[in-house]
Amino acid sequence: MKIGIIGTGNIGGAIARKMTVEGHDVYVANSHGVGGVQRFADEIGATATDIYGAVDGVDVIVLSIPLPAIGKLPSDLLDAVPRETPVIDTSNYYPGFRDARIPEIDDGMTESVWVSKQLGRPVIKAFNNVLAYTLSALGRPEGQPGRLAMAVAGDDPRSKQIVTSLVDEAGFDPVDAGSLEDSWRQQPSTPAYCCDYDAETMRRALASAIKGQTAKTRDQMPEHFAKLGSNPSHDDVIAMNRSLSPLK
């Protein structure tokens, strides 16, 4: 497939690497223009482009940029993109210490529902509830014991199936997390968020989430990270996440 990825940070960059290895034609763009992404594209065997090139004629679009940046994308960016083209939203909302406040989300709107409204089209929520190290280093072939899982939420069955296949190719068991409205269950500081669970446990984690009870924990994350010291291990972060958002 031809996959356009806007955003080459930790998650977007890891997805780009994985998809090129799997043989897809990957087009990468970021906020620095073609020149700003050329070295990365050459390194992984992708094509450097601008954000319009990343959505032109592609089969799948991946948005891997901060939520406030999604609200600032050009209004005509997706005008020529067919409605059936899946758009993956990998973003997470961290207000105060990383992101500007978004009143609608603060008032209870599901993050990816807000993204969908900004874009004027449906999105699929995926690749957001694993850490960058997990995505880059812990994927395993299908059927291998201990394979970790990733939640996928959305409303269009065809788009969801395409994204599910990409999650599987990336080395993770895709778990259907329900509708886009249901994707609050995989947002930051829920039991399903960045805890490195297998598929069965991921389903339990999604079911354990309680709406409206995560914002306080999420907003206190800088304090919790400070307690881990200056260079916490991946296992330290996973253990912290599990302790702060336990399964019910």
Q: Provide the token pair at 227.
A: 């307690």
What is the residue-wise DSSP string for 62-74? EE-S-HHHHTTS-
CA distance readout (Å), 207 to 91, 182, 192, 201: 21, 10, 9, 10
Among the residues of the chain, which ranges form H helices? Answer: 10-21, 33-44, 67-70, 103-106, 111-119, 132-137, 157-169, 199-208, 215-219, 221-228, 234-244
Q: Provide the token pair at 206.
A: 């999604």
Q: Print burial letters for 167-186: b (CB count within 10 Å at least 16), e (below 16).
A: bbbbbbbbbebbebebbbbb
DSSP SS3 for 82: coil
Q: Which CATH architecture has domain 66-244?
A: 3-Layer(aba) Sandwich (3.40)
Burial of residue 239 (number of CB atoms within 10 Å: 0-12, 13-18, 19+): middle
Are 147 and 112 in contact by the 8 Å Cβ rule? The answer is no
Sign of CA dihedral 232, 236, 240, 242: positive
Q: Provide the token pair at 56.
A: 């032109």
Are 56 and 46 in contact by the 8 Å Cβ rule? The answer is no
Q: Per the confidence metrics, is the pTM higher than 0.85? A: yes
**Each residue's pLDDT tens digit, 145-175:** 999 999 999 999 999 999 999 999 999 999 9
Are 126 and 160 in contact by the 8 Å Cβ rule? The answer is no
8-state DSSP, 95: B
Rounded Cα distance between 176 and 156, Å, is 12
Q: What residue segments make up the domains of the chain, in order of their start?
A: 66-244
Rounded Cα distance between 174 and 165, Å, is 8
- Tell me the β-bridge partners of 6: 29, 63
Q: What is the pLDDT along the chain (248 residues), one digit of tens a residue?
A: 999 999 999 999 999 999 999 999 999 999 999 999 999 999 999 999 999 999 999 999 999 999 999 999 999 999 999 999 999 999 999 998 889 999 999 999 999 999 999 999 999 999 999 999 999 999 999 999 999 999 999 999 999 999 999 999 999 999 999 999 999 999 999 999 999 999 999 999 999 999 989 999 999 999 999 999 999 999 999 999 999 999 98
- Tell me the β-bridge partners of 87: 61
